[in-house]
Amino acid sequence: MQRSCKRGLCIFYLTFPGLSGILCKIPNDESEKPQCIYFKIQPVCGRLSKDRMGDDISLQTNRHQHRRLSETEIIQTGKHMEKNYKLIIGYDGTRYFGWEHQPGKDTIQGKLEDVLNHLAEEPVLIIGAGRTDAGVHAMGQVANFKLQSAYEPEEIKRYCNQYLPEDIVVLEVSEVPLRFHSRLNAVKKTYCYRIFLGEKPDVFRRKYVTPVAENLNINKMKAAAEVLLGTHDFTSFCGNRHFKKSAVRTIYEIRIEEKKDELDISFTGNGFLQNMVRILTGTLLEVGTGKRKVREMKEILEGRNRSLAGPMAAAKGLVLINVEYE
C-alpha cells in the first residue's frame, strides 16, 4: 500500500488493477473527523496519479488515457460516492419484446443492464422514462441509473456503444443529481406514428412505417384530433383492461403532417397509457377512412370503455421522439 498526501488530501491505494483504495480528507482541526470514501481501480493496467497541471486526481492507464475526478467530486462524507447518470438512447425495436424486462426474452432494458453490469462490476438497475411496447422504436428514450463508483460520462458512452448490439445506441451520457428520476421527473413526451400512403412501402422503410392503402381525409382526422387535446380520462384508449390507476392524461399537441407518400402523426403529452398512442392512431385512421364520424371522438372519451375506440395500430410505425424535463 502507498500513501500520497497534499494539503490534507490523502490517498491510500494499491497499484494492482481491479482492487480498491481509500481516499481521505484530513482536517486541520483534530476535533473534526476525516472524510473518507472508497474508490475502485478499474481493471486496466494503471495507477492513480496527480495531474501535472493541477490538483485533480486521475486514473492513468497504459494507453495514456485519463479519467479526472475533481477534489470536490471525490471528497464526500460517507463510505462511497454514489453517482446518478442519465442516458439518451436510440433503438430499433423490431426484434425486441419492448423496453421492460421479461424473463427469457430480449428487451432494451435487459441489454443495457447486461453491458453496464460488466462495466461497473456491480448490479445495475436502469430506469426508463417510458416503457415502449414490443416492436416500438425510439430516437430519444431517456433512462437513468446509479453507481457506487465514479465514471466519466464519455467513458460510459464509449463502453456501451462498443458492446451493445448494433440496433441500440447510447447517444448521450451525463451526470445528474441523485434525485433525478427519468420517469417521474418527465414533463413531456413526444411520439410519432409514421404511415405509408400506399399498399407497400419501399424495402428500406418497411420496418418503420405502417402501410394504409385507402384514401384518407386528412382534414377530418385533424378535426378529430382537436377533440383529444387537453386533459381527459383516456380509459377508452388504454390497452390494459385491468389498469386501476388514474387514466387522466393531458395531450398538448397532435400534429398531422403529409410528406409525399407518408403521413406522420405526432403526439405530445405529459404521459401516455399502455398502447394509448397506437389506439389513438387506429381511431384517427378510422375517421380518415370514413368508418367513424368526427363527433364520435367525444363520445368515446366520455364512454371510458376500450370497446368504443378503434383498433390498435401496428407497433412498427411508432417511435418515441424525445422526453422533456424542466
In angstroms, rounded to a whole number, what is the distance separating the alpha carbons of residues 20 and 59? Answer: 13
In angstroms, rounded to a whole number, what is the distance separating the alpha carbons of residues 267 and 310? Answer: 17
In angstroms, rounded to a whole number, what is the distance separating the alpha carbons of residues 71 and 46? Answer: 20
Q: Verify whether residue 56 is a known catalytic residue.
A: no
**Closest to 48 (Cα-Cα) out of 15, 77, 79, 76:** 15
Note the Cα 165 to chain centre separation in Å.
17
Note the Cα 116 to chain centre separation in Å.
14
In angstroms, rounded to a whole number, what is the distance separating the alpha carbons of residues 176 and 84? Answer: 6
Q: What's the 3-state SS for the chain?
A: CEEEEECCEEEEECCCCCCEEEEEECCCCCCCCCEEEEEECCCCCEEEEECCCCCCEEEEECCCCEEEECHHHHCCCCCCCCEEEEEEEEECCCCCCCCCCCCCCCCHHHHHHHHHHHHHCCCCCCEECCCCCCCCEEEEEEEEEEECCCCCHHHHHHHHHHHCCCCEEEEEEEEECCCCCCCCCEEEEEEEEEEEECCCCCCCCCCCCEEECCCCCHHHHHHHHHHHCEEEECHHHCCCCCCCCCCEEEEEEEEEEEECCEEEEEEEECCCCCCHHHHHHHHHHHHHCCCCCCCHHHHHHHHCCHHHCCCCCCHHHEEEEEEEEC
Catalytic residue from among 55, 56, 133, 264: 133
Annotated catalytic sites, by residue?
A: 133
